[in-house]
Structure 1
Amino acid sequence: MFKNYIKVALRNLWKNRLFTIIGVLGLSVAFGVATLLTMDSLHELSYDNFHENKAQLYQVNITWQTPKGTEVGTSQPTPFAEALNSEVAGIDKITRFLEEEAVTIYGEKELGLDAIYVDPDFFEMFSFPILEGDKSSTLADISSVVLTKRTANKLFGEESPIGKTITVLINGQKEPFTVKAVSEDEPEQSSINFDIALHFEKNPEYEQTKELWNAQYHQVFVQLEDQVSPQIFEANSRSFTNLHYEGAIESLKRDGALPNQNGDFLQLGLLPITEMRFVSYDKGIVEVSRANIYLVLGVAILILFIACVNFVNMSIAKSSQRLREIGMRKTLGAEKKQLFFQFWGESLIVFIISFALGILLSLLLKDSFQSLFRSSATFDVLLSPSLLISALLFLLLISLLVGGYPALLLSKLTTIQSLKGKLDSSGKNHLRDALIVLQFGIAILLISSTFVLNGQIDFMRNKDLGYNKEQVISIPLNGKKNSYDLVKLLREELAGNPNILAVSAADNNLGRGKDGGLSTSVWGFDYKDKSVRTNVLVVDYDYIKTLGLKLKEGRSFDINRETDTQAVIINESMAKELGEGNPLLARIPASDSLDFAVIGVLKDYNFQDISKDIAPLTLLLDRDQGLTYAYIKVASSNMASSFSLIENTFKKIEPNAEFLGSFLDENVDRTFRREKTMAALITTGSVIAILLSCVGLFAMAMLITNQRTKEIGIRKVIGASVVSVTYLLTKDFLKLVLIAFVIAAPIAWWFANDWLQNYANRVDLSWHFFAIAGALSLAIAILTISTRTIQSALANPVKSLRTE
């Protein structure tokens, strides 16, 4: 019997091979796309799950109740970790963590490495296996280092690095370190990445800040004891914050801050290590969101759903061609379950073939997918036994749901209904219509989202940020020379070239450069009996000129005025924070015995991510603080040759350092990477969704015109025009597309409006985003249906009537 089921199923599939091909094509594309998107989603969700102690590992954060609202941060002062470990119960291990670039030298080799400064517990807490050396004594010596395997290979080749001495540039000084261990390279799914690990007390800021509680610049990770929960830790830490932040709490009370629900003005919190990848602190709360990942999975599900809708609709539409077969089978004694398994078996064969072709398609498209979406996911994440079993069960379930409904519908028909050739006594196809509305609604939703996303990206890309981003090149100062000396040499080497307009530097980048660096420094102090917090930027002379910033009041730093080393320039937001009628009269306290004079007020410019409001900013000169990026303004003509000149000049001065220069507009574009990836994803999803919907619509139009061949012939014989016949065949489908638009447009607007709230600077949500999406869907639907209906309307009516 089973053999007979297979034989009949294959015969029927071959008999209707055009529709079988359409069904297999749609499902194959859907399965292939869903496989790639699921691969990427599972890759993202697996971040930091490789740590053996992940259930007890947490990042420490601190919440401040300020007069302006709640603020959350992860930066801690140097004495924090040691005091926390000794005073708060429940901590098993603890480490401070600071990531910076460090120039490392061995013999003739000089590398700019991604360095982390950590405490000895680090390698006990995190699962970065030690391949060579003694794990128990790793970083026990303040002058010892741990290299990753790839770094060891770069520096030492095939020889063992254990016991070798390397030189690391710290604060412009060369310091020797002994290699005590080599660790395995971190997995791709790691939020912590490094090339070299050094003892925390060797970081450039340590000596100046080791006793200061108001200098916050590094993270802290803890491993809790097995029976201690984050809630218990947070409760245990209240006395700790009240003791060590007593002055800060009093200032918050004085300034009118309101306590949280527990009555606290400062509260320590813990974030699980497995949630670091997905956390945001921008809204003053610890917000863990996997929305982008679920969006990817959602697009995969929607595309698969549209393909399944096509299959259901075509199966039901084709059913009328098999009603007499069903009647004869029932007359000969076939039972409902036999008919059900016969029809479901045909669907199952189509799904198995489609699934296999979908997997093959995903393999062929993997490289293109990784390039387009900047994904490093591989199929390895899908090869676990549990996932493979789940995939097989999913295939059976979806084939049962999608193929089972038409099979159940046909198997329930009575013998009389079947022999009369009537599938639905009412003549209505409510399910078919509802499914078409749903799939086109999904397509319109995705197309609208594409327009809104690209509109926001264009808005951010073209917005005036308050500085010259087209003609300015930023260069990471990653060589071994002192940063100020390096900038001076760049000035001297480039002087006299008419295409080089200005040279300056700062300790932070604008946008995200090729080195990936993006950070901020915050300075807090009391000013006239109120707390003030400002972002701080250490700059060199000509910074304002180089970037084309606008001065609202006062002047820029002057190299001929020695007193400018004890002066600052603030932006408009900082001037409002100070609250002075004339901000040039303000003096900002640098220490108990030193005040900085305000010599200038800059017009606000976007020195941070464009999605944020412009925050208070203070610029100062500080020779004790190193510069990290040079800025060079070039003439608008011959920009390519100017870039090459700068690159060659940099390599001449720092022959062993990698040149990572880039224009600021490129840097700004890199800050939109998440949005651009989302736009590419949803655009691709929109194209696939509308194509699959149109394939299904075309198949439906073909089936219906075939069923109405005689009616078309009769109408043409009595004088109906081609236009009227075409309109008759297409109007019902076009009504469904219009209904889909009416339903989908408000939903798309709601989602788009909610998403745009994440941006302080955002595009206006205009009606035309949704109108164009609806019009485009309608136009594509008309084009799809017309290709078949016009052909039927043009057919010879005599030939049509002969088919009887």
Structure 2
Amino acid sequence: MLKNYIKIAWRNLKKDKTFAFLNIVGLSVAFGVAILLSMAAFFELSYDKFHTNGDNIYKVYNEIQTPRGPEAGTSQPAPFANALTKEVPGISKVTRYLQDGALVMYKDKEINMSTVWVDADFFTMFSFPEFAGNSDNPLKELSNIVLSKKMATALFGDENAIDKTINILINGKETPFTVASLVENTKSNSSLEFGLAIRFENHQSYTKNKEEWDSQYHDVYVQLQNEVNAKQFEDQTKSFVDLHYKESIENLKRDGAQPDANGRYFTINLLPLKDVHYTNFQNGYAKISRTIPYLVLSVAFLILFIACVNFINMSIAKSTQRLREIGMRKTLGAQKKQLFFQFWSESLMLFSVSLFIGIGLSILFLKDFQEIFRTNVTFSMFTNPLNIILFIVVIVLVTLLVGGYPAMLMSKLSTIQSLKGKVETNGKNVVRNVLMVVQFSIAILLISGTLVLWSQLEFMRNKNLGFDKSQVIAFPIDGKMDSRRAVNLLRDQLKDNPNIISVTASDNILGLGKDGSQFSSRLGFEYKGRVVKTNMLVVDYDYIETLGLELIQGRSFDRQYPGDALGMVINESMARELDEEDPLTATIMMSDSTKYQVLGIVKDYHFESLTKSIEPLTFFMNTDWDLYYAYVKVAPENLSKSYDAIEQTWKTLEPNAKFLGSFLNDNIDRTFRSEKIMATMITSGSIIAIVLSCIGLFAISLLVVAQRTKEIGVRKVVGASISSITYLLTKDFLKLVAIAFVIAAPVAWWLMNQWLQDYVYRIDLSIWIFALAGLLTVLIALFTVGVKTLKAAMQNPVKSLKTE
């Protein structure tokens, strides 16, 4: 029986090659795209799930109620972790975690490595597969380090790295360390990435800050005991907070802060490890968002759904051509279940062929997919038995539901109706029309989303950020040389180059540089009986001039005034924070009893992401503080030549340091990476969805025209024009587009408006965006249907009337 089903199914598919071809193309593309997108989505949702103790590991963060509203952050002081372990019960293990580059030297090699400064418990808490060496506790000794396999190869080549001694530059001194262990390269779905791990106590800032509760500069992870949950632990930290942050809480009350719903001004909270990758601290709270992976899954589902709708619609429309076959089979004794399995076997054959082609397409385009969406996903990540079983179950359900529905409809037809060759189609048309409305709605939704996403992206890219980003090259200051001396030498060697306008430096970079670094520094101090907080930036001379910042009051740092080392320049937001009639009269007393005088005020500019409002910012010129990034402003002519000159000069100063220069406009563009990926993804999804919709629409138009061929001939004989016949055949489709627009436009507006709320600076949603999406959908539908209907309308009526 099964063999007979397959044989008849094959014959029917061969009989109507157009129907089979259109379905196979649509389903194959949908399966291929859905497989790739689903893999990417599940990969993004898998971050940090490979750690054995992951369910009990949390990142510590604080929520503080300030006079300006709530603030949240993860930075902790150096004594915090040890005190928390001793004073609050429930902790099994704890580690401090600080990401900071380190210059590693071995023989004649110098490599600036991505480094994490952690405590001894780090490798017993987190499950990083070991490659070689000490497996128990590799960081038990202060002089031990752990390298990734990649960094070990870069440093030692084919040599055995275990027990080798290397030097690391700390506080300007080369300090020896021993390689205790090697671990496999950090997994691409890990939020904890490093090439080198070293004990926290070795960090250059540790000695001066190990007892300071006011200096917060690293993260803390805790592993709770099995019987303790996060809520219990958070409740037990109240007395700890009241003890160690008593003065801070009193200052918050004094300055007018309002307590939270529980009457607390300062709380310690735990963020599960599985949520760390998806968390942003915005508007004073920890905001967990998995929007991008779920959006990828949604697009995959919508594309597959459109292909399935095409199949159902074409199957229902085509069923009228098989009525007599159904009637004859029933007359000869065929039962409903036999007819069902016959028609379902045809669907199953189509789906099977399409699935294999789709898998082949996903394999073929995997590399391109990885580049476009910047993902490291591979098929090997999803070849475990559970994923394979899940995949098979999904495919069986899809084929059963999508292929089974048309099969069930055809098997339920009565013998008399079938033999007449005609059947009431109102119910079928309703189903077909509803599905097509949903299909058009999805297309309108995706087109609207694409237009809004690209509009917001272009708005951010072209927005005036308040500084010159087009002619400034920035790069990290790596190497053995003191950073300020390196900048001065760079300035001296480039001063005779006519294409170099100015050279400066700071301890931070604007945007996202090639080294992947992006961080901020904050400072708090007492001013006239209240606490004032500001972002801080350590700069060199000419920083304000090099970036083209607008000085609206006072002056910049000047070499003619040696006292400027204890001066500071502030932005407008900081001036408002000081609340002085003349901010230039303000004198700030820091915690080390050093007085700083306000020298000037610059116009507010966007030194952070456009998702944030411009906050207070203070520039310092204190020469005791290090610089980490150089900035060189170049003339607009010969940009590439200027870049090469800077690179060559830097190599003469630091021959072993890697030059990672980039223009600031490129750095700013990198900060929009997630938006670009989202826009590219939805654009690609929209194009594929539209193409699939066109395939289905074209197939339906073929069947509709074929069913009304004789009607078209009669109308032409009685004088109907080509335009009227074309309108007659297309108006039903246009009605469906209109209904889809009424449904989809409000949904698209709501979704896009919700997404835009994440941006302080955003476009205004215009009705014309959604009107354009609707118009594009109408034009696409007209073009797809019009090709066949126009041809039918122009056909000789004599030929049409002969057709039965």
Quickly name the TM-score band, shorter chain normalised: over 0.9
Letter of the 1:71 partner, please give it.
E
Give 1:86-165 correspondences, 5 Å limit.
Answer: 86-165=86-165
Q: Structure 1's 505 and 788: CA in aligned 2 closer, same or farther, altered over 3 A? A: same
SS at match of 1:448: helix
Q: Is 1:582 aligned with 2:575?
A: no
Letter of the 1:625 partner, please give it.
W
Provide the residue aligned with 2:392 in structure 1: 392
Post-superposition offset of 1:139: 2.2
Post-superposition offset of 1:164: 2.0
Which whole-Å deviations, capped at 9, do the CAs of 1:637-667 have from their partners, x for residues lacking one?
A: 1111111111111111111111100000000
Which whole-Å deviations, capped at 9, do the CAs of 1:293-318 have from their partners, x for residues lacking one?
A: 10000000000000000000000000
Give me the TM-score of the superposition, normalised by structure 1. 0.99
Post-superposition offset of 1:785: 0.6
Provide the residue aligned with 1:458 in structure 2: 458
Q: Which deviates the most, 281-290 or 533-542? A: 281-290
Letter of the 2:294 partner, please give it.
Y
In structure 1, distance between residues paired with 2:526 and 2:399: 68
Provide the residue aligned with 1:530 in structure 2: 530
Which whole-Å deviations, capped at 9, do the CAs of 1:614-639 have from their partners, x for residues lacking one?
A: 01000001222211100000011111
In structure 2, distance between residues paired with 1:735 and 1:425: 18
Provide the residue aligned with 2:518 in structure 1: 518
Provide the residue aligned with 1:235 in structure 2: 235
Q: Is 1:311 aligned with 2:311?
A: yes
SS at match of 2:187: coil
Provide the residue aligned with 1:277 in structure 2: 277
Provide the residue aligned with 1:765 in structure 2: 765
Provide the residue aligned with 2:493 in structure 1: 493
Q: Which deviates the most, 560-569 or 128-137? A: 128-137
Post-superposition offset of 1:130: 3.4
Provide the residue aligned with 2:735 in structure 1: 735
Post-superposition offset of 1:755: 0.6
Letter of the 2:724 partner, please give it.
S
Provide the residue aligned with 1:549 in structure 2: 549
In structure 2, distance between residues paired with 1:87 and 1:423: 80
Unaligned 5+ residue runs, structure 2?
A: none
Post-superposition offset of 1:355: 0.8
Post-superposition offset of 1:746: 1.2
Give 1:99-498 correspondences, 5 Å limit.
Answer: 99-424=99-424, 426=426, 429-498=429-498
Which whole-Å deviations, capped at 9, do the CAs of 1:343-367 have from their partners, x for residues lacking one?
A: 1111111111111111011011101
Task: Check conservation: 1:97, 1:219, Cα contact below 8 A.
Answer: yes
In structure 2, distance between residues paired with 1:343 and 1:478: 69
Q: Is 1:591 aligned with 2:568?
A: no
Letter of the 2:77 partner, please give it.
P
Q: Structure 1's 428 and 405: CA in aligned 2 closer, same or farther, altered over 3 A? A: closer
Letter of the 1:218 partner, please give it.
H
Task: Check conservation: 1:567, 1:597, Cα contact below 8 A.
Answer: yes
SS at match of 1:223: strand
Task: Check conservation: 2:123, 2:137, Cα contact below 8 A.
Answer: no
SS at match of 1:517: coil
Provide the residue aligned with 2:656 in structure 1: 656
Provide the residue aligned with 1:31 in structure 2: 31
Give 1:27-106 correspondences, 5 Å limit.
Answer: 27-106=27-106
Q: Structure 1's 428 and 384: CA in aligned 2 closer, same or farther, altered over 3 A? A: closer
In structure 2, distance between residues paired with 1:771 and 1:227: 57
Q: Which deviates the most, 65-74 or 587-596? A: 587-596
SS at match of 1:136: coil
Task: Check conservation: 1:504, 1:630, Cα contact below 8 A.
Answer: yes
Post-superposition offset of 1:24: 0.9
Post-superposition offset of 1:706: 0.4
In structure 2, distance between residues paired with 1:364 and 1:428: 38
Task: Check conservation: 2:525, 2:591, Cα contact below 8 A.
Answer: no
In structure 1, distance between residues paired with 2:509 and 2:31: 43
Letter of the 1:578 partner, please give it.
L
Q: Structure 1's 643 and 452: CA in aligned 2 closer, same or farther, altered over 3 A? A: same
Provide the residue aligned with 1:624 in structure 2: 624
SS at match of 1:286: strand
Q: Is 1:636 aligned with 2:636?
A: yes
In structure 2, distance between residues paired with 1:667 and 1:508: 13
Which whole-Å deviations, capped at 9, do the CAs of 1:314-345 have from their partners, x for residues lacking one?
A: 00000000111111111111111111111111
Letter of the 1:321 partner, please give it.
Q
Letter of the 2:37 partner, please give it.
L
In structure 2, distance between residues paired with 1:373 and 1:424: 49
Post-superposition offset of 1:144: 2.1
SS at match of 2:25: helix
In structure 2, distance between residues paired with 1:102 and 1:594: 30
Q: Which deviates the most, 374-383 or 140-149? A: 140-149
Task: Check conservation: 2:316, 2:428, Cα contact below 8 A.
Answer: no
* Aligned-residue CA RMSD (Å): 1.2
Post-superposition offset of 1:739: 1.4
Identical columns (%): 55
Post-superposition offset of 1:181: 2.1
SS at match of 2:576: helix
In structure 1, distance between residues paired with 2:428 and 2:685: 32
Letter of the 2:253 partner, please give it.
K
Aligned length, in residue pairs: 804
Letter of the 2:780 partner, please give it.
I
SS at match of 1:256: coil
SS at match of 1:280: strand
Letter of the 1:432 partner, please give it.
R
Give 1:714-725 correspondences, 5 Å limit.
Answer: 714-725=714-725
In structure 2, distance between residues paired with 1:711 and 1:427: 22
Which whole-Å deviations, capped at 9, do the CAs of 1:80-109 have from their partners, x for residues lacking one?
A: 011111111011111111111111110101
Provide the residue aligned with 2:693 in structure 1: 693
Letter of the 1:684 partner, please give it.
S
Q: Which deviates the most, 339-348 or 138-147? A: 138-147
Q: Structure 1's 738 and 137: CA in aligned 2 closer, same or farther, altered over 3 A? A: closer
Q: Structure 1's 592 and 395: CA in aligned 2 closer, same or farther, altered over 3 A? A: closer
In structure 1, distance between residues paired with 2:428 and 2:407: 19
Provide the residue aligned with 1:797 in structure 2: 797
In structure 2, distance between residues paired with 1:229 and 1:176: 41
Letter of the 2:461 partner, please give it.
R
Letter of the 1:530 partner, please give it.
R
Which whole-Å deviations, capped at 9, do the CAs of 1:716-764 have from their partners, x for residues lacking one?
A: 1111111111111111111111211121111111111111110011112
Which whole-Å deviations, capped at 9, do the CAs of 1:580-631 have from their partners, x for residues lacking one?
A: 1111111112126322111111100111112211010000012222111000
Q: Is 1:2 aligned with 2:2?
A: yes
Letter of the 1:574 partner, please give it.
M
Give me the TM-score of the superposition, normalised by structure 2. 0.99
Provide the residue aligned with 2:602 in structure 1: 602
Task: Check conservation: 2:373, 2:677, Cα contact below 8 A.
Answer: yes
Q: Which deviates the most, 199-208 or 131-140? A: 131-140
Unaligned 5+ residue runs, structure 1?
A: none
In structure 2, distance between residues paired with 1:774 and 1:425: 29
Post-superposition offset of 1:425: 5.5
Post-superposition offset of 1:401: 1.0
Task: Check conservation: 1:171, 1:626, Cα contact below 8 A.
Answer: no
Provide the residue aligned with 1:676 in structure 2: 676
